[in-house]
Amino acid sequence: MQESCRSCRDLLNRDPFEELTPEERRDLDAHVTLCRDCARERQALTETMEAMGSVEEVPPPKHFFVYEERRSSPWSSFRRLSPVWQGALAAAALAGLVLVALTAARLHLRWEEGVLLASFGDAPRERLARAWKHELLTVAQARSRAADLEWMDRLRRELARSREEQSGQMQVLLASGLREIEDRVDLQVATGTRRVESDTRLALSRFRQLVSQQRKRDLAILGRQLDGFATRNQIQSERTDLLMTAIFGPAELAGP
Amino acid sequence: MEKTLERGMTGAVGPTRSAEALEREWVDASRRGDTVAFNRLVLAWESTVYNLALRMLQDPEEAAETTQDVFLRAYRGIHRFRGGARFSTWLYRIAANRCLSRLRRRPPGFDPSAVRCEPASPESQEAALLRAERARSVTRALRELGPDQRAVVELKIYQDRSFEEVAAILDAPLSTIKSRFYTSLEILRRRLGGSPP
């Protein structure tokens, strides 16, 4: 293929699409007039384009309209209302939201053993913690210090064992409850000890007082007994003197 | 496009307004959610898109499905169309991509039903048969092209788009588009215009 034919083929490809300048078209026409191969190529290309053009536009089988889904949104309905109604509805919605928020803050739902439990008021966890504290305090008051310590050790062990199952907040609550109980028990024990010491001191003082009084009473009785004994001895002595005098007095008078 | 848009005007527009301005107006209204305006665009472009799909897919049912899909996607995405390019370029891009996607999903050896060829004007039975036969030849020749080649041929020959527009629609370099087109043209010329000397 000659160089002129190569450039002609390029022009031929662009020719059906009106991309040639007048100069290019003149060159192409001039070349095709002289070159039979390129003339045949042009004829083939023309037939190709004619054949391609024989495929006519087919009317669509239907229209392809797009329909909007006519769903009235709450916002569009709201916007259609008058400003007075809009204000009233907004206020009502706000009040409703506040009510719902308050209700939600006091409403507690929990899942226990396959049952959904709902409660209104204090959080069940706080209530449960309070109940635990109360129960623990009641039990603690009924036990001795040693038993309390042993019992609290057991509780601590139980707490450590169930750490996996308990939520963090629950553990904190339980630990704080235990600390409070321990403090109270310590306080009670200290108070009891002080009371016992005080009672003991009082009792000893009373005992000493009693012993002292008793000793005084005993000494007084002994003194009185000794006095009586001395009096009786003196009386006896006087009687003896009188008797001796009575016996030995005449004898002395009647001596040698 | 003037001719195409005339079909969508339904006589509601005066003769002073240009087709370009009218189309821009409908596109703007569609972007604001005006379904009526969008359906005017559908009416203007449905035949073009359907025929593009029909020539590329060579299956009337699939072409109708694709056309509906194209307009639905266009409607959903019209708010993203910023008007930087022409609406037709944007629509052709959607249509070409949908057709290419369907063509690429087809199993090897897929044989679509033949394209219906209904003569646009009354003519003799002999001429109609001849035309139908040529159309069948074109259909067979087009089947020899790959999906990308078919898309280039469709846009260049049947939609009369410039190479720059075809490159923009198919999102490919200009040189690739030209090369693809001339290769396709050579295949078609061998099938439809006889062997080269």
Q: Does B115 touch chain A (CB under 8 A)?
A: yes
The answer to whether A44 and B194 have CB atoms below 8 angstroms apart is yes
The answer to whether B82 and B90 have CB atoms below 8 angstroms apart is no
Q: Any residues with CB less than 8 A from the CB of A20 and at least 6 apart, and which? A: A11, A14, A28
Instruction: Say yes or no to pLDDT of B152 above 70.
Output: yes
Residue B1 lies in a domain: no
Nearest partner of B193 among A37, A104, A109, A41, judged by Cα: A41
State the pLDDT confidence band at B50, using cuts at 50, 70 and 90: very high
Q: In chain B, which residues have their Cβ closer than 8 Å to the Cβ of A55?
A: 55, 115, 117, 135, 138-139, 158
Instruction: From B50, B76, B107, give the residue that closes a domain.
Output: B107
Domain total of chain B: 2
* Cα distance between residue B62 and residue B29, in whole Å: 30
On whether both B101 and B28 belong to a single domain, the answer is yes
pLDDT above 90 covers a percentage of chain B that reads: 39
Reading the block at residue B45, the tokens are 């472009």
Instruction: Say yes or no to pLDDT of B3 above 80.
Output: no
Reading the block at residue B74, the tokens are 């266009």
Average pLDDT, chain B: 82
CATH number of the domain within which B193 lies: 1.10.10.10
On whether both B28 and B52 belong to a single domain, the answer is yes
On whether both B88 and B161 belong to a single domain, the answer is no
Residue B112 lies in a domain: no
Reading the block at residue B61, the tokens are 């049912």
Instruction: Say yes or no to pLDDT of B173 above 90.
Output: yes
Contacts 24+ apart (CB under 8 A), A164-170: A169/A125, A170/A125, A170/A129
Q: Does B72 touch chain A (CB under 8 A)?
A: yes
Residue B86 lies in a domain: yes
On whether both B73 and B38 belong to a single domain, the answer is yes
* Contact state of B157 with A52 under an 8 Å Cβ cutoff: yes
Reported as a single tens digit per residue, the pLDDT across A46-89 is: 888 888 888 878 889 888 888 876 666 777 777 767 788 889 99
In which domain, by residue range, is B141 found? 122-197
Contacts 24+ apart (CB under 8 A), B29-37: B30/B75, B30/B78, B31/B78, B31/B79, B31/B81, B33/A68, B35/A66, B35/A67, B35/A68, B35/B75
Instruction: Say yes or no to pLDDT of A108 above 80.
Output: no
Closest residue in B to A53 (Cα–Cα): B158
pLDDT of residue A163: 67
On whether both B97 and B158 belong to a single domain, the answer is no
Q: Any residues with CB less than 8 A from the CB of B163 and at least 6 apart, and which? A: B156, B174, B177, B178, B181
Instruction: From B48, B72, B107, give the residue that closes a domain.
Output: B107
Residue A77 CB-density burial (10 A; 0-12 exposed, 13-18 middle, 19+ buried): exposed
Residue B4 lies in a domain: no
pLDDT above 70 covers a percentage of chain B that reads: 82
ipTM here = 0.74
Place of tokens 């087109």: B181
Q: Which amino acid is at B22?
A: L
Q: Is the pTM of this model over 0.80?
A: no
Instruction: Say yes or no to pLDDT of B124 above 90.
Output: no
Nearest partner of B142 among B134, A15, B96, B101, judged by Cα: B134
Which of A1, A58, A71, A73 to mutate to test binding with chain B, by most B CBs within 10 Å of its CB? Answer: A58
On whether both B135 and B163 belong to a single domain, the answer is yes
On whether both B146 and B103 belong to a single domain, the answer is no
Instruction: Say yes or no to pLDDT of B193 above 90.
Output: no
Task: Provide mean pLDDT across the span B162-177.
Answer: 92
Which of B98, B157, B166 to mutate to test binding with chain A, by most A CBs within 10 Å of its CB? Answer: B157
Q: Which residue has the higher pLDDT, B36 or A250?
A: B36
pLDDT of residue A86: 87
Least confident range of A203-207, B66-70, B80-84: B80-84
Q: In chain A, which residues have their Cβ closer than 8 Å to the Cβ of B38?
A: 66
pLDDT of residue B149: 93
pLDDT above 70 covers a percentage of chain A that reads: 83
pLDDT of residue B8: 47
On whether both B19 and B90 belong to a single domain, the answer is yes
Task: Provide mean pLDDT across the span B93-114.
Answer: 83
Exposed e or buried b per residue across B31-55, where buried means at least 16 C-beta atoms within 10 angstroms of its C-beta: beeebebbbbbbbbbbbbbbbbbbb
Average pLDDT, chain A: 81
Place of tokens 């665009």: B41
Least confident range of A41-45, A76-80, A141-145, A247-251: A141-145
CATH number of the domain within which B72 lies: 1.10.1740.10
Q: In chain A, which residues have their Cβ closer than 8 Å to the Cβ of B141?
A: 51
